[in-house]
Structure 1
Amino acid sequence: MSLTSETDLFESFRGRLSAIAYRLLGSASDAEDAVQETYLRWQAADRDAVETPEAWLTKVLTNLCLNQLTSARARRETYVGQWLPEPVLAGSPMLGPADTVEQRESVSIAMLTLMERLTAKERVVYVLRAAFGYAHHEIAELLDISEANCQQIHRRAKQHLAGARARIEVDEAAARRIVEEFLAAAVSGRTDELVRLLTDDASIIGDGGAFYPTLNRPLVGAERVATFVRLAVKPSDTKRDTFGRALTPFAAIVNGRPALVVTAADRVVGIVVLEVTADGIAAVHAHANPDKLAYANRQWTTHEPGDPLPTLW
């Protein structure tokens, strides 16, 4: 097999490998690094000894992610402020496949955050089983464990994730309506407008890393969330960032959820993802750490955002 055909073969699997890595790591940049390292190992491998390329590549990637999950957990213990997964705009191969509810749910910010409760091995088993439909015997072979052990790990993972609330599906039009309504309520100066949109147990989490101060811990409860948002988003003639640049709001779909994307000088400086249920907005996830917006910014250069939201602030 020529070098070109070997590269083409790897590229045919890249999207799936990226999707697995993102779900396992909760970071688009780390997922890209893991896939690239898998490619380098593929180039150096004895191809004659590889019977099934997809299985070989998945095993290499999975082991790389297992190692990264262990080190990432240690890094997050010293992370400044609250940690959120890295947001990804619609259209990225990292968000696929999206044929089933389980597959779509597995890339929501809420589920990726919940998966932080799992051990590294529980996360691998759960992701490969729920999002990619691998059989227990296939996962067991990838992880060098018994099938019975794999089934037990999967049961534990599901127990840790039990209670996750089902979200509603949205298209671009619905996402814009939801985000526009949320933004209008946020700048109205009245908490009751926001409370009406939130579930009673709604929460808000902000991730600014070491760059922007955010909440020390999640706020829970519709009144508390509404009060915080009202104070954080005060109306003004022209909203500007800390560098004096005018801010422009857009509606988008991020990780399968309605989101407010805020730009300054055509760069994404903030993303607010709304976890919407049949009962209202159950969670607000605010991303401001520029390191975690790098992938979204690369997407934004080719994204067609449509018209900005009405300048309500």
Structure 2
Amino acid sequence: MNESDWLTERFEEHRSRLRAVAYRMLGSVAEADDAVQEAWLRVSRAETGDVVNLGAWLTTVTARICLNVLRSREHRREEPLDVRVPDPIVSPESGVDPEQEALLADSVGLALLVVLETLTPAERLAFVLHDMFAVPFEEIAPMVARSPAAARQLASRARRRVQGQAPVPDPDLTRQRDVVDAFFAASRHGDFDALVAVLHPDVVLRADGGAGPARQTVTIHGARQVAAQAVMFTRLAPFVRPALVNGAAGVVVTANGRPLSIMGFTVADGRIVAIDVLSDPERLRQLDLNGLDATTDGAP
């Protein structure tokens, strides 16, 4: 086996991990794949003979590419959105395929990714690499041009925000689905009290309709406030289809064969603590929803 074939084989062994790093960094499968491909182009042109730990080196290369993408995003945004819901990974209720499982390991729920979007690029890199992939701060520090102690502080700030805004979901999917079904049943019947009962008192609803004058993003806090909004979902009831959204109970709303929104739910201790909604038509068109029951209309 020549050196090129050896490097190709080793890279493929690490591809799943690199995609997982990039997805957590960027919140987009398409951008994650682009970042991994860029990493391969750089690696294939580099001298790797002196690399002791190829996996760590590949992770560093990929993370640096993602950091540049995040910084470029900040420069491109003239007016930051109030909330940005990352591109969700949507699967049939029958289960997540093996390729998606690698991306979603460690319960990378939509609520967590939404919170990661609020971090600075350096905070996000430090938290993702250290807390999710156990990369030492001594290796993270050069990527963000900080000392190891400063890199540790970046991760600590990010961790506090994540712990405060992204609760750990109930691991039992059946219990999650029961709570989400109760939410839509109450919404369908306009039962305000039942809606409040299924929502955590500090529930947050985040909706991303995209940029532009006709679009809007919104964040609503509190059970009664979210319930008041949810009553308006009654007209959507015939078009709601259950799905897994980032491995958790969620729904896809379609009409006339076209996706209107994707809703991810975070359920903890029997109540909904977060609802994240993506309704940006441009981004919805780019998502792969093939194979979902949600691609057909009709009452559930």
- On whether the aligned pair clears a TM of 0.5, the verdict is yes
Correspondences of 1:233-248 after superposition (within 5 Å): 233-234=234-235, 239=238, 247=239
Aligned equivalents of 1:183, 1:5: Cα separation in 2: 53
Q: Which of 165, 172, 176 in structure 2 is aligned with 1:170? A: 172
1:208-241: CA deviation from partner (whole Å, max 9, x where unpaired): 21489565431222222112121243268xx5xx
Q: How many residues align?
A: 293
Q: Does 2:106 correspond to 1:118?
A: no
- Mark the CA change 1:49 to 1:268 in structure 2 (over 3 Å): closer, same or farther: farther
Q: Aligned with 1:205: secondary structure?
A: strand
What secondary structure does 2:86 align onto?
Answer: coil
- The one-letter amino acid paired with 2:160 is Q
Kindly tell me: are residues 229 and 57 of structure 1, through their superposed partners in 2, closer, same or farther at Cα, counting changes over 3 Å? same
TM-score, structure 1 normalization: 0.79
Change (3 A) 1:189 1:222: same
Q: CA deviation at 1:140?
A: 3.3
Aligned to 2:299: 311
Tell me the SS of whatever aligns to 1:204: strand
CA RMSD of aligned residues (A): 3.2
Structure 1 range deviating more: 181-190 or 287-296 = 287-296
Q: Give the corresponding residue for 1:42.
A: 43
Residue identity matched to 2:265: L
1:244-255 maps to which residues of 2 (within 5 A)? 247=239, 249-255=240-246
Q: What's the counterpart of residue 21 of structure 2?
A: 20
C-alpha deviation, 1:28, in angstroms:
2.0
Letter in 2 for 1:222: A
Is the 2:203–2:221 contact (alpha carbons within 8 Å) kept by the matching residues of 1? Answer: yes
Spell out the pairing of 1:141-220 with structure 2 (5 A cutoff). 143=144, 145-164=146-165, 165-171=167-173, 173-210=174-211, 216-220=217-221
Structure 1 pair 67–276 and aligned structure 2 pair: CA distance change class (3 A): same
Structure 1 letter corresponding to 2:122: K
User: Given that residues 88 and 255 in structure 1 are in contact (C-alpha distance below 8 angstroms), is that contact kept between their aligned partners in structure 2?
Assistant: yes
Counterpart Cα distance in 2 of 1:307 and 1:33: 27
Structure 2 distance, partners of 1:160, 1:291, is 29
Within 2, Cα distance between the matches of 1:214 and 1:226? 22
- Mapped to 1, the partners of 2:210 and 2:23 lie a distance apart of 20
Specify the SS of the correspondent of 2:189: coil
1:243 is matched with none
Q: Matched residues in 1 for 2:205 and 2:21: separation?
A: 27
Q: CA deviation at 1:32?
A: 1.6
TM superposition shift of 1:29: 2.0
TM-superposition CA deviations, 1:70-116 (whole Å, max 9, x none): 122234453667421111134464664766xxx32xx2222222223
- 1:143 Cα deviation (Å)? 4.9
Check whether the contact 2:209–2:215 (CA below 8 A) recurs between aligned residues: yes
Q: What is the correspondence of 1:219-238 to structure 2 with a 5 Å cutoff?
A: 219-234=220-235
Contact 1:175 1:252 in 2 (8 A): no
User: Hey, what's the Cα distance between the residues in 1 that align with 2:58 and 2:277?
Assistant: 34
5+ residue gaps, structure 1, are 240-246
Residue 6 of structure 1 corresponds to which residue in structure 2?
A: 7
1:270 corresponding residue in structure 2: 261
2-structure distance, mates of 1:235, 1:261: 11
